[in-house]
Structure 1
């Protein structure tokens, strides 16, 4: 049987203070940089009592196009040390910062990936090795925050699903954690969105959701975000 390595990507969308992946733990799981705090420290702990872990850092620019995440190697974000080994039970401090601290009118967004480099398998090993790849969101605050809550739209598709979209017209991200969708005047759920998702500044994200029952008239959305809970009322239209 061939030996192979499988890379498991972990995107830190929900925000506990720490997160564990395989044998190592990362804290914090989201970083905010400002002119007064242009650098930050991330603590990485090896939870294994017996094995060391070799990790490599990759700093990436994070954009969105047509609602999809796009990553390219960054020349603006610096992370050190670029590669390191943590002994069993040990901790490594990773430092991140900008090459130049320049505030812009729109929030700058990056991800720092911590990629596990798996050890060479033992001679007798046959099977699949799992290598973890954790992406930490890093945000650089704009000069000032502007904008309003996301604008929501909803339509019924020809195959009986709910097409839902949210446009973030502000100059910083919003993280959608959960959306419960109801008919306007009752509390029975029509559909639900439970997969957390970032919407970056001036971007639109779209979903297609299965309906639990046919909606009637206007929809009421109960939305949980990283900035708090909001409600929105949306006219339901037929998809073109």
Structure 2
């Protein structure tokens, strides 16, 4: 990978947790940072504002977005996403528009894509401190969702266990649209019902049909006090809870 290219393709997922607001990526801002299309909205627009003092040029590319068996993001070429332009230049202080649509606007299961907005090489920036020249390019991936005709939200906790202080949680999105994970909350209580352990695990998107395994380790001194471990898996659309009785043999 080019050492002068900073990749911000995952930033969209983080920004999306707060809704469809704008994201500032280096010298330009993107608004909205995700697009949701479907039967009621067959096309959308993404605005790129040049926050720099010089003209910026961008190359735009669309990829199909899936997750593999380990829940890792995968991207593949696709012609199902329609967007224009594919290359654009934006003057300082000006705003450029990218129009986005999909060939299939009515689907039984959500389709997911990312629209990658990549800054193209231009004028070289100067570092004020040293006077050295550097060219830092930014790549931003905006999620594009094609909503299902009949949205269904469902999440299965396939396993929740504790072995030698190691917590393992396996979750699968069994619905037909994505879930934005807002927090995987663990709480341990002692025999008296007092809180003796708390931790929130973070994640991003869990796409439809995808499964992920989350792990963490409870310190031995805290694990020894826990008699019940509670799990609450929160997303932007639902919440699933589980409880686990804990014995000393489950701790280090």
Q: TM-score range by the shorter chain?
A: 0.7 to 0.9
CA distance in structure 2 between the aligned counterparts of 1:170 and 1:100, rounded to whole angstroms: 20
TM-score (norm 1): 0.84
Secondary structure, aligned partner of 1:110: strand
Quote the residue 1:139 is aligned against.
145
How far does residue 60 in structure 1 lie from its aligned partner after superposition? 0.5
For 1:165, the equivalent position in structure 2 comes to 170
CA–CA distance in 2 between the matches of 1:222 and 1:6?
A: 38
Report the equivalent of 1:96: 100
Query: Per-residue deviation at 1:128?
Result: 4.9
Distance 2:149 2:185 in 1: 33
Aligned residues: 231
Match of residue 5 from structure 2: 6
Runs of 4+ in 1 over 6 A off after TM superposition: none
SS of the residue aligned with 1:51?
Answer: coil
Higher helix share: 2
Structure 1 alignment gaps of length 5 or more? none
Mapping of residues 8-157 of structure 1, within 5 Å? 8-11=7-10, 12-13=12-13, 14-15=15-16, 16=18, 17-48=21-52, 50-66=53-69, 67-101=71-105, 103-119=106-122, 121=124, 128-151=134-157, 153-156=159-162
- Give the match's secondary structure for 2:135: strand
Q: Normalization by structure 2: what TM-score? A: 0.80
Alignment partner, residue 193 of structure 1: 201
Alpha-carbon distance in 2 for matches of 1:165, 1:26: 34
Residues of 1 paired with 2:178 and 2:51: CA distance? 32
Aligned-residue Cα RMSD (Å) equals: 2.7
Q: Which sections of structure 2, spanning at least 5 residues, go unmatched?
A: none
